Amino acid sequence: MTRLFIDADACPVKEEAVRVGERHRVQTLFVSNSYMRLPDSDLVERVIVPDGPDEADNWIAERAGTGDVVVTADVPLAARCVAAGALVIGPTGKPFREDAIGMRLAMRDLNTHLREIGEIRESGPAFTKADRSRFLNQLETTMRAAKRIASDG
């Protein structure tokens, strides 16, 4: 059975994820370190993990697998979930694929280093309407693929 995991602490597409989850009648798990207001749905489950680095990531990575969908902007979490067989997309709709995850991890590490030494001062680009639209389209496509995988397995 397909489940939708949301790395919720900084996720800008919570309502969109719930809409797609409801359309596909899948359990949608919002995982965070603190309480947050979530869209109301019988399919939504709030999971609050203890404070600490990577607690939410660990919770998701330990449970997500083949036939599940994960929404996260966290590249190391995405890599762990992809390795476990889950389909993973970022909040901008960009999928994390097994054949490209190594490069994404390397770019993340490079950008972290450049910020630490002061070569980069700004964070990433602002979240746009186009990002939100791309996310909705990609989540729909990803959810269909995950449900096919889950029913085949």
- Contact between residue 56 and residue 9 where contact means Cβ atoms under 8 Å apart: yes
Condensed to tens digits (0 to 9), the pLDDT of residues 14-55 reads: 999 999 999 999 999 999 999 999 988 999 999 999 988 899
Structural domains in the chain?
3-152 (3.40.50)
Residue 104 is predicted with a pLDDT of 65
Q: Quick one: pLDDT band at residue 124, thresholds 50, 70, 90?
A: low
Distance of alpha carbon 15 from alpha carbon 23, whole angstroms: 12
Residue 18 is predicted with a pLDDT of 96
Work out the percent of the chain whose per-residue pLDDT is above 70: 86
Rounded mean pLDDT, 70-74: 95
Strands 3-7, 69-71: pairing kind: parallel
Q: Distance of alpha carbon 146 from its chain centroid, rounded?
A: 14
- Contact between residue 58 and residue 73 where contact means Cβ atoms under 8 Å apart: no
Pairwise pLDDT comparison (124 vs 38), residue with the higher score: 38
Q: Take residue 69 and report the two structure tokens written for it.
A: 């969908």
